[in-house]
Amino acid sequence: MEFYLLALRSLTYAQRARDILGAAGIRAAVIKTPSGVSPKGCSHSLKVRSQEAARAAAHLRSQGINIEKIFAATGSGNYLEVPL
Amino acid sequence: MSGVVYFDNAATTLCKPKAVPEGVRRSILHCASPGRGGHAPAMAAAEVVYRCRKAAAELFKADDPEKIVFTSSATHGLNIAINSLVRPGTRVAISGYEHNAVTRPLHAIGADVRVAAGRLFNGEEVVENFRKELENGAKVVILNHVSNVFGFIQPAEEVARLCKKYGAAMILDASQSAGSVDIDAGGMGCAFIALPGHKGLYGPQGPGILICGAEPKPLIFGGTGSESKSQDMPPYLPDALEAGTANVPGIAGLLEGINYVNQTTPAAIMAHQRKITRHIGEKLQEIGGFRVYLARKSENQAGVLSVVKEGTDSEETAQILGEMGFAVRAGMHCAPLAHRTAGTLDTGTVRISPSSFNTLRQADMLIKALSRL
């Protein structure tokens, strides 16, 4: 399954962002950010479906949520940072 | 409650909504630690904690759940708040009804403390005395929203407006008001509001809440499950102040307590508690032989009543009541400043504090017992 990760600064922030997306009808799950793309150590991300990633990112930004980075899952546990 | 008629709810509410112990139990069985793993029990814990933040943000009208920080008590929260704003020599204006949870940290820091003491139940005088202290250069104001000894509801919103006008930071100690007085954290603009979970929010002993409106300084340092490669605490809330494993069972119980308060409403809880304390106070005045600290205007007093049986030591009165099956608290209530302000420092008082679950029948039983002393 293809998905995107929206990396956020904290668990609570990610939960808040998830709720904002949920209210807009966009499903997202809070997960721990994979170590390989989490340079500061432990953090949390929102996992969203690829086809909803751009809308999700735009909606969060419109609500004042700061997305640190966005990654596309490329399969086999690899992630590619993408501009969205 | 093994036959005890419990009127010591200003210390800790003993009778809880049924959902509170159930929430604690569920959490112990199913929740691990939030932020410490991506597995289901860790994420279940994270959801409980987040739901509690959201419920608290709703109750206290905080604009953002991230500003809701879980502490180990209101005292812990007050220590964070005071240590964030006060340095040796900082001029701090406090009310005449502060608890040792405020006065001891200020004493330890070496703050320049000024007491803006107003007479009991005289809110106008409190406001005027804070105005004077702010004109004289106070940089920080600390206000006990409801006196834990006398139930005096101090004019928090008026004092908050004064603080805005004079550019001072305000810390609100909402230990006795949370759950029975409406608190508009967003509107008041306090730097910090500290409160316990185990009193008027009906949670278990343990978790407290600090609502942060200013930049806090961490009091303890450690793991947060975020930015682990850095030796600095994360700069954002709530992580900056939540080092160490969260008290998830306590927070799970607190969530259910807050849900109860949100559903019942603080106004209804206040009305019930006030009805009971006024009933007891007025009856004791009729009986005579008691000094009863009852506000002339009921809106100036929450559901906390202090009395003194003339000629009897307060601790002794409470001890006898205890032997008769009534739980009340006597003495200084960890607030000698409040007793000094009200003129009860030498005698202390017997404090009667009902909760949402006490009844007028229990109040009549207590009145009868007191009348026999």
How many Cβ contacts (< 8 angstroms) between chains A and B? 57
Q: What is the pLDDT of residues B186-238, one digit of tens each?
A: 999 999 999 999 999 999 999 999 999 999 999 999 999 999 999 999 999 99
Q: What is the pLDDT of residues B271-298, one digit of tens each?
A: 999 999 999 999 999 999 999 999 999 9
Q: What is the ipTM of this complex?
A: 0.93
- Are A12 and B239 an interchain contact pair (Cβ–Cβ within 8 Å)? yes
Give me the number of domains chain A comprises.
Answer: 1
Q: Is the pLDDT of residue B1 over 60?
A: no
Yes or no: domain B5-15+265-371 corresponds to CATH 3.90.1150.10: yes
- Are B35 and A13 an interchain contact pair (Cβ–Cβ within 8 Å)? no
The candidate with the shortest Cα–Cα distance to A11, out of B256, B66, B68, is B66
Please state the domain extents for chain B: 5-15+265-371, 19-264
More confident residue, A84 or A43: A43
Could you give the CA distance from residue B132 to residue A73 in angstroms, rounded to a whole number? 62
Contact at 8 Å (CB) between B98 and B338? yes
Q: What is the pLDDT of residues B141-161, one digit of tens each?
A: 999 999 999 999 999 999 999
Comparing CB atoms, the residue among B225, B228, B229 nearest residue A11 is B225
Q: In what side-by-side order are the strands of the sheet with B140-144?
A: B68-71, B208-212, B192-196, B169-173, B140-144, B91-95, B112-116
Q: What is the pLDDT of residues B160-184, one digit of tens each?
A: 999 999 999 999 999 999 999 999 9
- Are A42 and B230 an interchain contact pair (Cβ–Cβ within 8 Å)? no
Q: What is the CATH number of domain B19-264?
A: 3.40.640.10
- Residue A74 is part of a domain; what is its CATH number? 3.30.70.1530
> What is the chain B residue with the closest CA to A42?
B226
Contact at 8 Å (CB) between B334 and B101? yes
The partner residues of B292 in beta bridges, in order of sequence, read B307
Structural element, H or E, at residue A75: strand A69-75
Comparing CB atoms, the residue among A11, A16, A40 nearest residue B34 is A11
With a pLDDT cut of 90, the percent of chain B lying above it is 98
- Are A9 and B37 an interchain contact pair (Cβ–Cβ within 8 Å)? no
Contact at 8 Å (CB) between A17 and A31? no
> Which of B67, B227, B229, B251 is most worth mutating to test chain A (most A CB atoms within 10 A of its CB)?
B227
Residues of the domain holding A53: 3-81
Q: Is the pLDDT of residue B341 over 90?
A: yes
Q: What is the pLDDT of residues B202-212, one digit of tens each?
A: 999 999 999 99
